Structure 1
């Protein structure tokens, strides 16, 4: 693999990190968000510093041959720990238990990182090796132990990740399960990376030469495993966000029928709230619900509870369920009130102080059902037609 094969994944991870950083700035106490940012940061660092051109540059800048080796091994070890911590926080549970387990993984892999640095300092690796240090120094005291330690730590993390994600995937559904299965697939590539690396190193211990496994086969497996795993981590978060946004925009659109119906109730001269096109969907829904409730307040003097009760009984008689019948009754009352308000342009009823809002329409729990009934219920259509012709509803 050349430098480009490392730098492209590093850039991809950096872009994902840049997208996440603003959220961390506003919610830095969120352990899951911190775990995601740590993972993306370490993944980008691993790919950047493991690239042969970067390895050579770091060695030259420091003046220490092969100093990049413990640096890359420490980054890989820290990345392994970040994956474990992310899954622990992602899976959730009692906060104290989650924090305790995360701290154990961080402490354990922190000790491994310290040991890697100490072993490199005790060893002797004077000849720079950009691609095959693992096998070239496989029999060198202390360097040998450093190589074996980082491979063992990486292998333990991969095995634990596969086990945790597989067990968790059996308990969940949807995008989360798909993401966990993708993570498992990615870590199977990581296990293959460990197997090929260790095979080449053990072959050196036994006096054989299988260096090509470490030099040419293992790196592509590591890159592929990291990219696949990253997709598994990101997919549920992105898809859940898209799904949530779709539901919010659907709610906004479905509320439109009721919103359009009650707009007539606004007093003359009332300014219309105009939201910027970039306003969040959540804010738009809140504003639309607020407008609807304001409309209910202005329509209150025109609400006819007897009409509502008649519409409710008729909806039940036609086979509607309890919740649907209540929504149809509320919608019929709103439709009749709108017709009555239209027939009273000077607002004589309002000016007479005949306020009768009460709890006629029972809050946001029914807004979507009421909106749907306004558009689709035959009972509501009949009430609207009768109110338009005679100024009254069901009789």
Structure 2
């Protein structure tokens, strides 16, 4: 595996996020706030794309490839330097759009865009005037620190990047404490993580500037400053992207553990209900409807269908309940220490066991079905859980040795008792 696989993966996630946000931007329904929402989503897309660009171009193999293909030594350095400044500036624009109406924040946004454009033009001009024939993908600033034009270029981009990151820190922390984020914990967390990531970017600027300034005075800080700057930059950029993704994706991701627990609970319920469902199916096989295509891969739908069909079959059996079976089951249950719902489940399970064996519905008119269970009518989650839990307890009771014993004894007596004259 490539040592830069994580870098490429993070860049891919950032580009994918940008594509999703662009699609969301053009799906904003018409309305008075449509322009603001569209601008906000497009800004998020730009920030994510710039983050992906910077992360992707930070891998030395990519740097070497672009420089070789373009034929311009250190061209990737110019692209990355402009990209990180644009990333920090676009994050400030995003915060401004988040914190106020677009008409109120646009003047401040416009000023930042003009400053960004001026810095970009200056960097391109300085790079064109510089003489940097040796490719330096890691230590560009310190290696060329003694060249005046490159020193001005590096100083400009490092100061601009540091100032932009300081602005992101200030905006992020101030807004995370404002009333705008009241009741929005994921946004507050995201803002603080973005601020922490920007602090890493600020550390990158300080470390790189220190390495460059050391060369001016004959001091070599590269052994410490360069690894430190890389650590600050990579961790800070990753935290920056995570913080931006947290507000939109944090809430659904937070539900994943709960959804996993529900899935396994439903899977267990499905398996518990299956023997009871199989035992009751002969009561009315026509009640079993084929699953629709979308239902085949949903455990919840299968459980719902099981519950509905079991309740239908229980309603058909209800007129055939035998009081003698109920007495025997209750007596055995009390002897075993059962009370309340557990005793009721045992009695009903014994009735089912006996009736499934004797099949009285074949010789008697079918009873009218009771009202469908609440789970069939799109009830609340609490009602759904209650319905499934009740039948799951009944299914467990149905498979107990005590039910088997009571039913066997009753069926034996029914077989050996003489027919009435």
TM-score, normalization: structure 1? Answer: 0.59
Whether the 8 Å CA contact 1:70–1:117 is kept in 2: the answer is: yes
Work out the CA distance in 1 between the residues paired with 2:19 and 2:102. Answer: 27
* Aligned partner of 1:141 among 134, 148, 154: 148
Indicate whether 1:54 and 2:55 are aligned: no
> Is the aligned partner of 1:161 residue 2:168?
yes
2:195 paired with 1:184: yes
Distance of 2:3 and 2:211 partners within structure 1: 21
- For residue 4 of structure 1, what is the aligned residue in structure 2? 5
> Which residue of the partner structure matches residue 233 of structure 1?
244
Residue ranges of structure 1 left out of the alignment (5+ in a row):
245-274, 279-370, 372-395
2:93 matches 1:85: yes
Uncovered stretches (5+) of structure 2, i.e. residues with no partner: 29-33, 256-291, 296-379, 381-421
Residues 26-41 of structure 1 mapped to structure 2, 5 A cutoff: 26-27=27-28, 29=35, 30-41=38-49
- Cα RMSD for the two superposed structures: 3.1
TM (norm. structure 2) is 0.55
How many Å apart are 1:15 and its aligned residue?
2.7
Matched, 1:66 2:74: yes
Shift of 1:240: 5.0
Deviations 1:365-390 (A, max 9, x none): xxxxxx9xxxxxxxxxxxxxxxxxxx
11-20 or 216-225, larger mean C-alpha shift = 11-20
Query: Which one has a bigger Cα radius of gyration?
Result: 2
In the superposition, relative to structure 1, how do residues 214 and 116 fare at CA in structure 2: closer, same or farther (>3 Å)? Answer: farther
Shift of 1:20: 2.4
Aligned residues of 2:207 and 2:225 also touching (Cα < 8 A): yes
Contact persistence 1:36–1:86 (CA under 8 A): yes
Asked whether the 8 Å contact 2:19–2:45 carries over to 1, the reply is no
Q: State the aligned residue count.
A: 255
> Does the CA-based 8 Å contact 1:2-1:51 persist in structure 2?
no
- Indicate if the aligned counterparts of 2:43 and 2:94 stay in contact, CA closer than 8 A: yes
Task: Indicate if the aligned counterparts of 1:159 and 1:191 stay in contact, CA closer than 8 A.
Answer: yes
Tell me the alpha carbon deviations over residues 187-221 of structure 1, each in whole angstroms, 9 at most, x when there is no partner. Answer: 22112112211111111112100112443221222
Q: What are the residue-to-residue correspondences of 1:80-229 with 2, within 5 Å?
A: 80-91=88-99, 93-171=100-178, 172-173=181-182, 174-229=185-240
Asked whether the 8 Å contact 2:211–2:226 carries over to 1, the reply is no
